[in-house]
Structure 1
Amino acid sequence: MDGTPARLSIVVPCYNEEAVLEETVRELTEVMNRLIHDGKVSPQSIILFVDDGSVDKTWAIIEQKTLDNPYVQGLKLSRNFGHQSALIAGLETTGEFSDCVISIDADLQDDVAAIDEFIDKYHEGCDIVYGVRDKRDTDTFFKKNTALAFYGLMRKMGVNLVPNHADYRLMSRRALHELMKYQEENIFLRGIVPLLGFKSAKVYYNRKERFAGESKYPLKKMLGFAIDGITSFSVVPIKLVTSLGFVFVLIGGFIGMYALAVWLLNHTISGWTSLILSIWVIGGMQLIAIGVIGEYIGKIFKETKNRPRYTIEWDTITEDKKVKGQVNR
């Protein structure tokens, strides 16, 4: 790397964030001013807000900020494609002309002060820097323990996740270039990024309460996100269903031998209860098995269509902003 300051892009996915957007712009602008003043990043660095089909005033605020703020640029998707697709849209857009890209959510729960350390780690030669929560004090008991259980389950299934890391990370241009080779429809960035294998580091920070607005990840979405993560990276659930099938067949064999023994000893009794329980248990397992297999078949169905992950309706990035940086890594 030469002495030219790195050109940084900060990608911020947004969905109905009008309540917090003004403060988000203010805090990220302060960070950018400080980094440029210290000579850590280029004055050509930008903050890209990706509007994921918001139905409030999010895009109107972004458009206004592009006129008032030299760093702010906007990318508007044609509809709501989901957080991961919006994030990918921002990464793909900025990856061609940035030396490094930092992704962060708009809700200001991730500590923006950690960005300074992200950049320091980048200058030390790291291509990927993970923002990792030091504590989970702001989470409810349920959310904290289910999150820890999810990370533990993924590790047991052989998925190399970084515990307590969401999508707050820095990636160099070459890391982004490799990431874009992964073209699956149901992309799970937290699992894919560690697969890249470049030199990485962790920056620990304490997560704050949401500045304003409501969480965009209620329980239903969190469960769906967890299922996507598991089924995108592991076939263990199908293997588990197969194993359970063998177990129930074995149990059935023992029950059959027990019934035969009772009949030979003339101790036959009414078996209504055991029969009904068996029907419900086996029936339930069959439905679960069909559901697990259906998840995988559904993913195959989506992948074979090869549809685009997002559609850009409008962007405010001018051609001079798209000139590639001079730092090569």
Structure 2
Amino acid sequence: MELSVVVPVYDEEDVLELFAARLRAALDPLGEPYEVVVVDDGSRDATPRLLEALRAGWPQLRVVRLRRNCGHQAALTAGLDRSRGAWVASIDADLQDPPELVPVMLTAARREGVDVVYGVRDDRTSDTWFKRRTAGLYYGLMRREAGADVPADAGDFRLLSRRVVDELAALPERHRVYRLLVPWLGHPSTVVAYRRDERAAGTSKYPLARMVRLGTDSLTSFSARPLRVATWCGVLGSLVCLLAMLTAVGAHLSGATVPGWASTFVAVLFVGAVQLLCLGLLGEYVGRLYAEAQHRPPYLVASDTADERRPTRPASWQR
């Protein structure tokens, strides 16, 4: 198998047939053996039925169905783990990333002798102002914390060699953010620029809450800086409290004290807010340690049309 294309889907009945038509039209002319691994992340609409109908006329289509909704990164993990190609591309089904670029990525990887090809969005005018601004802040922060190798405006549209896929599968961590993990491995890479289109149909499966969760996972996976922020907040709070104490003592010695609750109320609120912030940041890291210590798999496969009989994780995961 030369090429695998991994496609995580969740409630994509509105766009699935259009996506499949464009992807097949891009892959069939390659003249090379390929498979399309669609990971159904517990869809509740007509997506499973449409996938079965598409598979009847497309022998290269393979459907991996998860038992429940596990999230985009977990579904992507399932597809990467079960892919069989020498090259593995990942793409979403909403057609914001053009399927026609998959052969272009494959050609670029072979021509330049690299292991990773990133799809980089050089034109995001189809996104809202808010999304463009938050994306810019996210990539700027990630490049600062995780390293300059993180390409700006590169999402989960990429092509990986089998060597990279195997190394990713060997990593034991449960909370995965591939747009940071792949650059972290340090393999030679190149980029293919493209214009990001509007979603062809349906609604976004990445609302603000999931975007915030992705940002939190990204930061806590690759940086301990939030814990240092908590430490400095504690130091700042201590200095403010010390200044308030000195002011109170000076006012008492000069006889200028006036009974009141406002200053006390503000001081208590400030100290309480700093404490809650520090506890919250510490809790994020403790929660991640707890989740990793449980060693639960990030996904559970209900069925695979390839009917493979192999573990969903390499032996290094089954501790």
Q: 1:163 aligns with which of 152, 170, 187?
A: 152
**Match of 2:189, as an amino acid?**
S
Contact 2:237/2:274 (8 A) holds in 1 = no
Q: 2:133 aligns with which of 129, 140, 145?
A: 145
Kindly state the Cα deviation for residue 233 of structure 1 after the two structures are TM-superposed.
1.3
Secondary structure at the counterpart of residue 100 of structure 2: helix
Secondary structure at the counterpart of residue 170 of structure 2: coil
1:298 lines up with 2:287 in the alignment: yes
Kindly state the Cα deviation for residue 318 of structure 1 after the two structures are TM-superposed.
6.2
Residue in structure 2 matched with residue 13 of structure 1 by the alignment: 8
Contact 2:3/2:86 (8 A) holds in 1 = yes
1:187 lines up with 2:176 in the alignment: yes
Note the 1:235-314 alignment, pairs <5 A.
235-314=224-303
Q: 2:86 aligns with which of 86, 89, 99?
A: 99
Kindly state the Cα deviation for residue 11 of structure 1 after the two structures are TM-superposed.
0.7
Residue in structure 2 matched with residue 202 of structure 1 by the alignment: 191
Residue in structure 1 matched with residue 311 of structure 2 by the alignment: none
Which region of structure 1 is more displaced relative to structure 2, 255-264 or 84-93?
255-264
Note the 1:124-143 alignment, pairs <5 A.
124=111, 125-143=113-131
Which region of structure 1 is more displaced relative to structure 2, 257-266 or 219-228?
257-266
How far apart, CA to CA, are the structure 2 residues paired with 1:116 and 1:53? 29
**Long gaps (5+) in structure 1:** 1-5, 37-41, 320-329
Residue in structure 1 matched with residue 106 of structure 2 by the alignment: 119
Secondary structure at the counterpart of residue 293 of structure 1: helix
Normalising by the residue count of structure 1, what TM-score does the alignment of the two structures yield?
A: 0.89
Q: 1:162 to 1:270 in 2, by over 3 A?
A: farther
Kindly state the Cα deviation for residue 27 of structure 1 after the two structures are TM-superposed.
0.3
Identity %: 39
**Match of 2:275, as an amino acid?**
Q
**Match of 1:283, as an amino acid?**
G
Which region of structure 1 is more displaced relative to structure 2, 108-117 or 208-217?
108-117
**Match of 1:10, as an amino acid?**
V
Contact 2:41/2:69 (8 A) holds in 1 = yes
Kindly state the Cα deviation for residue 184 of structure 1 after the two structures are TM-superposed.
0.8
Q: 1:143 to 1:276 in 2, by over 3 A?
A: same
Structure 1 runs (4+) greater than 3 angstroms displaced: none
Kindly state the Cα deviation for residue 89 of structure 1 after the two structures are TM-superposed.
0.5
Q: 1:27 aligns with which of 22, 27, 40?
A: 22
Residue in structure 2 matched with residue 177 of structure 1 by the alignment: 166
Output the aligned Cα RMSD.
1.5
**Match of 2:221, as an amino acid?**
S
How far apart, CA to CA, are the structure 2 residues paired with 1:304 and 1:318? 30
Which whole-Å deviations, capped at 9, do the CAs of 1:279-318 have from their partners, x for residues lacking one? 1111112111111111111111110010111111111126
How far apart, CA to CA, are the structure 1 residues paired with 2:248 and 2:160? 63
How far apart, CA to CA, are the structure 2 residues paired with 1:158 and 1:193? 11
Kindly state the Cα deviation for residue 201 of structure 1 after the two structures are TM-superposed.
0.5
1:63 lines up with 2:52 in the alignment: yes
Kindly state the Cα deviation for residue 31 of structure 1 after the two structures are TM-superposed.
0.4
How far apart, CA to CA, are the structure 1 residues paired with 2:51 and 2:37? 9
Secondary structure at the counterpart of residue 134 of structure 1: strand
**Match of 1:198, as an amino acid?**
H
Residue in structure 2 matched with residue 86 of structure 1 by the alignment: 75
How far apart, CA to CA, are the structure 2 residues paired with 1:158 and 1:114? 27
Contact 1:159/1:234 (8 A) holds in 2 = no
Normalising by the residue count of structure 2, what TM-score does the alignment of the two structures yield?
A: 0.92
Residue in structure 2 matched with residue 154 of structure 1 by the alignment: 142
How far apart, CA to CA, are the structure 2 residues paired with 1:197 and 1:154? 16
Note the 1:38-57 alignment, pairs <5 A.
42=32, 44-57=33-46
Note the 1:212-231 alignment, pairs <5 A.
212-231=201-220
Contact 1:29/1:71 (8 A) holds in 2 = no
Kindly state the Cα deviation for residue 159 of structure 1 after the two structures are TM-superposed.
4.6
Contact 1:159/1:191 (8 A) holds in 2 = no
Secondary structure at the counterpart of residue 112 of structure 1: coil
